């Protein structure tokens, strides 16, 4: 079965860990300074989606890249909304930059291909064992 190299594994784990920490910092800042309303509660969902994407990246899931890509788009829109509402959050800007860099590195690297190969091999092995047992 193919697996990730040690460097790719450590990249996924470290990138996921730091992404979770930045996302939680954004969530805590948002919870502390928010004015209750439907828009602010929707923003909480975006942060939870970011946290979920980074946790899945730490677990080396194939879905992580898609979630992080969607999160990058939503955080970009959120940053635009914050600028239009004359608010500024440096932590949110750091999260946006971090998301864009991680998504670009994951798309340009071989880690995503290896994760797909690993998932396919695990499914084949599970199907093989289901036929035996």
Question: What are the pLDDT digits (tens) for 64-118?
Answer: 889 999 999 999 999 999 899 888 889 999 999 999 999 999 888 777 777 778 7
Q: Is 2 or 92 the better-scoring residue by pLDDT?
A: 92
What length does the chain have? 133
Domain chopping of the chain, boundaries = 6-132
Query: Is the pLDDT at 2 greater than 70, yes or no?
Result: no
Contact 63/56 with Cβ under 8 angstroms?
A: yes
Q: What is the DSSP letter of 109?
A: S
pTM for this predicted structure: 0.84
Q: What share of the chain is helix, strand, coil (3-state, %, to 5)?
A: 85, 0, 15
Q: What is the pLDDT of residue 14?
A: 94
Q: Please, which pLDDT band fits residue 131 given cuts at 50, 70 and 90?
A: confident
Q: What is the pLDDT of residue 1?
A: 44
Distances (CA, A) of 71 to 32, 108, 115: 22, 18, 20
């Amino acid at each position: 079965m193919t697996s990730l190299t040690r460097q790719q594994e450590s990249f996924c784990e470290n990138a996921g860990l730091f992404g979770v920490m930045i996302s939680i910092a954004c969530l805590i800042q948002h919870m502390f300074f928010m004015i209750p309303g439907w828009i602010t509660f929707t923003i909480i969902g975006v942060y939870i989606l970011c946290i979920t994407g980074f946790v899945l990246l730490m677990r080396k899931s194939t879905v992580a890249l898609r979630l992080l890509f969607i999160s990058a788009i939503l955080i970009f829109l959120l940053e635009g909304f914050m600028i239009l509402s004359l608010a500024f959050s440096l932590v949110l800007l750091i999260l946006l930059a971090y998301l864009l860099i991680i998504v670009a590195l994951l798309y340009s690297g071989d880690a995503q291909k290896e994760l797909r190969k690993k998932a396919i091999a695990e499914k084949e092995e599970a199907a093989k064992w289901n036929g035996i047992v």
